[in-house]
């Protein structure tokens, strides 16, 4: 048992406990320290890095460009670090985060291999008590959840899965010493971003690869490659300007945002624009026109372009047909960014199995059975995603002011104020929580914005000698209504996506992230703070 009940520096409770040591937890710790707050970070993994520590699967790579997907809080760090590729690979991002941990001497306040089991608020002392699976029990004034939006891996409940004698892997819990599929018959279940990245690489190694696809996703090519030195130089010399520009955009990304309707231009112009963006690669494809996410007819033009591309790449027309995304608008399930995904289906050793028309029935000791066939497998890869937004938080028994849990409070769907705070849970903050732009934005700047907002709020509390800060129920209700209203004015709720919890059986169907735009969101958070933290109650 490791005991750190009190801050060894002064024998008092910590000012803050931070749960998680990914992008969010590392920066939160840094910021707290700079402001003179004592803090301890708990991290379940045996290393720092969060998402980038766990998602070690072949091909794992960020779908946001590396120069943008990096911290901006330290000018020196920004100047020093050299990204090698336009889209950084998982090992490179993990190396970066380890560098950050060392460069800012963060490790001494991080306890690894320690999972937080519970956090309970005591109204008599206004302290949180945090307990871990290593037997720690620690008191802190504030509790900051830096647990990530996509960290609770989900393996579907397929009958017989425990009988399988081959190896099973989940992309989000991949063995760190790698997996060699040489000579094996491998089944990959799931064709979201993780599956789409892993499939081309596994196909190159395996004797045969069966891809079990329930919903075909839209994917655009990354057009990845080395970053030309003049691009790096330009970014480094103008990073402040670029970062400010990105903050004002809808998705927090420096992609060209089309201002026109897709329906206001000629067919030829539209085709040229989509082609230009396809050749440029990446998520910017969906920014071609202003109404892609709000007008189904506009969206159809982009969707049809992608379908034509798929037909053009995949040689077997029957396979191409199965790969065509349909039944939901482009981008309303996370748009994927790939390298040679569709081309992979031209390989002799790859078979696409449509499990929407012939669902998986069971897994046996040696095979996967669908309604119409049996596939002998040596290994099964679950690229089946995560219990997004709420999964990691609800796994922790978080008890607020009246001792009821966050899980109970969120039984009909998550409720937050600004995606940052929860009424009934004083001094608890969530970084990129449900109700904030989070996964619909560039995560790193969104994390920085939240960390800075939380840190400022703590300073405000300290200056005024407040013991607690808590979102009011009215502010929370108002924000939840606004988040839903904005979502309902878009096409996003039409898809069975993890944005609405559709991938987890029984999860309430609520659109969880905030789609009102990064720029507008930041303005709102700043205005709340400038008005003395409107919507929050402070007590001494
Ligand atoms: P995703 O995007 O949730 O993809 C999971 C995939 O697994 C998707 O194709 C699912 O099909 C499929 N899936 C999930 N459950 C099942 C079951 N029970 N049976 C068959 N197929 C299933 O997760 P990823 O890890 O790829 O990506 C997560 C995010 O990480 C990504 O968007 C980036 O932001 C980074 P479905 O579509 O639900 O029919």
Residue at 380 is within a domain = no
Residue nearest to atom 13 of ligand 1 (CA): 384
CA of 512 to the centre of ligand 1 (A): 16
205 C-alpha to center of ligand 1: Å?
Answer: 23
Does residue 214 line the site of ligand 1, with CB under 6 A? yes
Residues 302 and 415 in one domain: no
Do residues 209 and 378 make contact, with C-beta atoms less than 8 angstroms apart? Answer: no
Cα(420) to centroid(ligand 1), Å:
26
Residues 269 and 140 both lie in one domain:
no
Model pLDDT for residues 410-456, shown as the tens digit of each residue: 999 999 999 999 999 999 999 999 999 999 999 999 999 999 999 99
Question: Is there a single domain that holds both residue 33 and residue 119?
Answer: yes
Ligand 1 center to 213 CA (angstroms): 10
**3 state DSSP class of 422:** coil
> How close is the Cα of 383 to the center of ligand 1, in Å?
6
In a domain, 111, yes or no: yes
Give the atom of ligand 1 at the shortest distance from the alpha carbon of 336: 32
Nearest-CA residue for atom 10 of ligand 1 = 190
State the Cα–Cα distance between residues 121 and 139, nearest whole angstrom.
Answer: 10
Q: Report the domain count for the chain.
A: 2
533 pLDDT higher than 80:
yes
Rounded percentage of the chain residues whose pLDDT exceeds 90: 96
Q: Answer whether 194 contacts ligand 1 (Cβ < 6 A).
A: yes
The reply to whether ligand 1 has any atom less than 6 angstroms from the CB of 334 is: yes
Q: Indicate which atom in ligand 1 lies nearest the CA of residue 158.
A: 18
Q: Give the distance (Å) from ligand 1 centre to CA of residue 334.
A: 10
Last residue of a domain, one of 332, 354, 377: 332
Q: Is the CB of 362 under 6 A from ligand 1?
A: no
The minimum-distance atom of ligand 1 relative to the CA of 502 is: 38
Same domain, 45 and 140: yes
Tell me how far apart the alpha carbons of residues 390 and 500 are, in angstroms, rounded to a whole number: 11
The residue whose CA is least distant from atom 29 of ligand 1 is 193
* Ligand 1 centroid to residue 214 C-alpha, Å: 9
pTM summary value: 0.96
Q: Which domain-ending residue is among 332, 350, 368?
A: 332
Shared domain check, 518 and 426: yes
- Answer whether 212's CB lies under 8 Å from 328's CB: no
Nearest CA to ligand 1 atom 4: 192
What's the pLDDT tens digit per position in 316-331? 999 999 999 999 999 9
446's tokens? 């969104």
Burial class (CB in 10 A: 0-12, 13-18, 19+), 372: exposed
Let me know whether 326 and 396 are in one domain.
no
Residues 142 and 35 in one domain: yes
Q: Is residue 197 in some structural domain?
A: no
Is 275 within a domain? yes
Burial of 402 (0-12, 13-18, 19+ CB in 10 A): exposed
| Closest ligand 1 atom to 157 CA | 18
User: Both tokens of residue 475?
Assistant: 């502010």
Query: For residue 277, how far is the Cα from the chain centroid?
Result: 24
Query: Is 407 found in the same domain as 310?
Result: no
| Cα separation, 192 vs 209, whole angstroms | 17
For the record, the structure tokens of 267 come out as 């067919």
Within-domain flag for 123: yes
| 191 CB within 6 A, ligand 1 | yes
Whether 215 lines ligand 1, by a CB cut-off of 6 Å, is yes
Query: Which two three-digit tokens encode residue 83?
Result: 């990204």
Burial of 46 per CB tally in 10 Å (0-12, 13-18, 19+): exposed
The H-or-E segment that residue 142 falls in is strand 137-145
CA of 187 to the centre of ligand 1 (A): 15
pLDDT over threshold 50, residue 1 = no
Q: Whose CA is nearest to atom 33 of ligand 1?
A: 193
**DSSP for 61-121, written as a single string:** B-SS-TTTSS--S-HHHHHH----BSS-BHHHHHHHHHHHHHHTT-GGGEE-S--EEEEEE
Q: Are 466 and 537 in contact (CB under 8 A)?
A: no
Q: Which is the closest atom of ligand 1 to the Cα of 215?
A: 39
Averaged confidence pLDDT in the chain: 96
Say yes or no: 518 and 412 in one domain: yes
- pLDDT score of 10: 63
Pull the structure tokens for residue 146.
């830096």
Q: Which of 172, 194, 362, 512 for mutating ligand 1's site (highest number of atoms within 8 Å of CB)?
A: 194
Residue 457 has pLDDT above 70, yes or no: yes
Residue 73's CATH number:
3.50.50.60
Going from the Cα of 198 to the center of ligand 1, the distance in angstroms, rounded, reads 13
Q: Where residue 403 falls among pLDDT bands split at 50, 70, 90?
A: confident
Last residue of a domain, one of 285, 309, 332: 332
Cα torsion angle, 4, 389, 501, 56, sign: negative
Here the tokens at position 174 are 């991949």
Q: Is residue 340 part of a domain?
A: no
Its domain, for residue 109, covers: 14-152+387-539
Q: 138 pLDDT band (50/70/90 cuts)?
A: very high
The closest of 19, 46, 51 to 443, measured between CA atoms, is: 51
| Closest residue by CA, ligand 1 atom 18 | 156
> Looking at residue 514, what DSSP letter applies?
-
Pairing of β 397-399 and β 116-122: parallel
What pLDDT, on the 0 to 100 scale, is given for residue 3? Answer: 41
CA-nearest residue, atom 38 of ligand 1: 503
CB-CB neighbours of 230 under 10 Å: 8
Vertex 222: Cα angle to 219 and 227 (nearest 5): 170
For range 134-152, the mean pLDDT: 96
Band (12; pLDDT cuts 50, 70, 90): confident
Ligand 1, atom nearest to 171 Cα:
25
Report DSSP state, residue 400: -
End-to-end CA distance of the chain: 35
Under 8 Å between Cβ of 186 and 202: yes
Query: Do 319 and 410 reside in the same domain of the chain?
Result: no
Q: Cα–Cα distance between 289 and 274 in angstroms, integer?
A: 10
CA–CA separation, 335 vs 337, rounded Å?
Answer: 7
Note whether residue 214 is domain-resident: no
Is residue 42 in some structural domain?
A: yes
The CA 453 to ligand 1 mean position distance, Å, reads: 32
Residue 2 pLDDT > 90: no
């Amino acid at each position: 048992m490791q005991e750190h009940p009190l801050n060894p520096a002064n024998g008092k409770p910590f000012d803050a406990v931070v749960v998680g040591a990914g992008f969010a937890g590392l920066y939160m710790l840094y910021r707290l320290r700079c402001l003179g707050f004592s803090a301890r970070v708990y991290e379940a993994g045996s290393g720092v890095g969060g998402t980038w520590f766990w998602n070690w699967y072949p091909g794992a790579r960020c779908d946001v460009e590396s120069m943008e997907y990096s911290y901006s809080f330290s000018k020196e760090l920004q100047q020093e670090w050299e990204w090698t590729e336009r889209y950084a690979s998982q090992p490179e991002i993990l190396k970066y985060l380890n560098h950050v941990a060392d460069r800012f001497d963060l490790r001494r306040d991080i306890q690894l291999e320690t999972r937080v089991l519970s956090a309970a608020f005591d109204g008599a002392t206004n302290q949180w008590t945090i307990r871990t699976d290593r037997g720690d029990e620690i008191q802190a004034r504030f509790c900051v959840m830096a647990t990530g939006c996509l960290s609770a891996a989900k393996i579907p409940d397929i009958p017989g899965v425990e009988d399988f004698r081959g190896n099973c892997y989940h992309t989000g819990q991949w063995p760190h010493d790698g997996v060699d599929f040489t000579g094996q018959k491998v089944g990959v279940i799931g064709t979201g971003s993780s599956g789409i990245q892993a499939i081309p690489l596994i196909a190159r190694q395996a004797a045969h690869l069966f891809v079990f696809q329930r919903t075909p996703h839209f994917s655009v090519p990354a057009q990845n490659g080395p970053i030309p030195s003049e691009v790096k130089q330009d970014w480094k010399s103008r990073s402040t300007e670029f970062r400010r520009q990105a903050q004002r955009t809808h998705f927090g990304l420096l992609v060209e945002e089309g201002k026109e309707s897709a329906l206001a231009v000629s067919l030829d112009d539209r085709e040229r624009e989509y082609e230009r963006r396809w050749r440029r690669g990446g998520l910017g494809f969906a920014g071609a026109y202003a109404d892609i996410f709000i007008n189904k007819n506009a969206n159809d033009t982009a969707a049809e372009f992608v379908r034509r591309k798929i037909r053009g790449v995949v040689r077997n027309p029957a396979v191409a047909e199965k790969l065509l995304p349909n039944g939901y608008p482009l981008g309303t399930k996370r748009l994927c960014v790939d390298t040679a995904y569709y081309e992979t289906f031209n390989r002799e050793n790859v078979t696409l199995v449509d499990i929407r028309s012939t669902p998986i029935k069971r897994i046996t000791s040696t095979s996967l059975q669908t309604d119409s066939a049996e596939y002998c497998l040596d290994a099964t890869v679950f690229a089946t995603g995560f219990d997004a937004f709420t999964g990691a938080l609800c796994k922790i028994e978080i008890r607020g002011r009246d001792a009821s849990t966050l899980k109970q409070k969120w039984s009909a769907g998550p409720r937050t104020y600004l995606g940052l705070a929860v009424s009934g849970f004083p001094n608890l903050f969530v970084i990129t929580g449900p109700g904030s732009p989070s996964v619909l934005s560039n995560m790193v700047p969104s994390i920085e914005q939240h960390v800075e907002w939380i840190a400022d709020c703590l300073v405000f509390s300290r200056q005024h000698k407040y013991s607690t800060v808590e979102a009011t129920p009215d502010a929370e209700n108002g924000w939840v209504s606004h988040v839903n209203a904005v979502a309902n004015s878009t096409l996003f709720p039409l898809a069975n996506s993890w944005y609405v919890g559709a991938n987890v059986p029984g999860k309430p169907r609520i659109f969880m992230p905030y789609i009102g735009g990064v720029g507008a969101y930041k303005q709102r958070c700043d205005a709340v703070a400038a008005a003395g933290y409107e919507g929050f109650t402070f007590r001494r």
